[in-house]
Amino acid sequence: MNLFATILTYPAPSANYRGESELNRSVIQKVTDGRFDYPIISPEAMRNALREILAKYGLPCNRERLHDEEQLAVKFRDLPNPDSYADDFFFGYLVATNSADRKKYLQRIADERGDDSAKSFTFKRDSVLRMNLAKALEPYRHNAIFTQSPLAAEGSAYQNATTSALLHRETVVSAFQYPLALNLKDCRSKPDWTRKLLKAIGELNDVAGNHARSYFEMAPASIIVRLTNQLVAGYETYGFRTDGTFPEVVDGILHEPTADYPADEFYLGGKIVKEMSSDLAERLLKRGATLDRDPRRLLETVADKFLGG
């Protein structure tokens, strides 16, 4: 069984990208779709936040972010071990080595974990959780804001700059949507970890970049989930419209005389359900779709169905 989902966040002012700048202008990362540029957020940023949330839940994680370094830095507690560390299990890894280093690593694993572990060890592992870029519903319209960085006066304990600076930051007001996918076979050996991962997706926050300090939630305002044996979602994974609806799936379930999609494979939660007419909700329920006004509670239902709980 495969789990496919598309998540839509709540709209809010966003200045999400701080990895690039033009002089003192913080630039939002964008992608061109048709005639417009849309702000985006990388799946790597969201995966990093998920890793930190799983650690807060008490799951063992191998990698941790070091925040007080001169450049982006992380620390690994151990060589990769997907059986022992949730982040190695879900997000994959790559140990870049030459032949000589490989032999040293394998000998170290044999000494620490046993010969069987050394034989089964892999130097790279694909991510179990598949994600794509989060893309804004609204295009970037050349909005920017200015803030003032004050001068640290003479006699201050430290001084970061010799003058005051005007900080220039691109911004947009929009919701973001992003797809993700999981395969049951990949997750079956760690059902408790998988439940925590789905919970973390429902509570996703503190995504890297300026979101981490300006407070922009990446948790679902609305969510569409499909549980299916087919290998593709079968619908547009960026299907939320600017009004928060998802017409391809909703209309497809209700299509007459033959539905485009089997309703019992679909789970809809959050604002998309809250803002439905009672007639539309009743028709979807009669077809066999699952609806829940709370996206986090819906993810619990999905976890039970997906994992057989």
Confidence (pTM): 0.89
The one-character DSSP state at 179 is: E
Q: Which residue matches tokens 């059902």?
A: 191
Which of 41-55, 78-92, 200-214 bottoms out in mean pLDDT, i.e. has the lowest?
Answer: 200-214
Q: Are the C-beta atoms of residues 237 and 179 closer than 8 Å to each other?
A: yes
Alpha carbons 147 and 153: distance in angstroms, whole number = 18
Statement: residue 302 has pLDDT above 90:
yes
More confident residue, 280 or 149: 280
Q: Which residues contact 225 (CB under 8 A, 6 or more apart)?
A: 3, 4, 5, 266, 267, 268, 269, 298, 299, 302
* Helix residue ranges per DSSP H, the chain: 43-56, 86-91, 99-113, 115-120, 184-187, 191-202, 211-214, 247-254, 271-274, 278-287, 295-307
pLDDT for the residue numbered 161: 79
- CA dist 160 to 165, 169, 216, 274, Å? 11, 20, 27, 49
Closest CA to 42 of 51, 30, 26, 34: 30
- What mean pLDDT do residues 103-127 have? 84
176-183 and 130-131 strand pairing? antiparallel
Alpha carbons 233 and 258: distance in angstroms, whole number = 19
pLDDT for the residue numbered 211: 58
Closest CA to 145 of 175, 167, 164, 163: 167
User: Model confidence over 234-283: pLDDT tens digits?
Assistant: 999 999 999 999 999 999 999 988 889 999 999 999 999 999 999 999 99
pLDDT for the residue numbered 156: 86
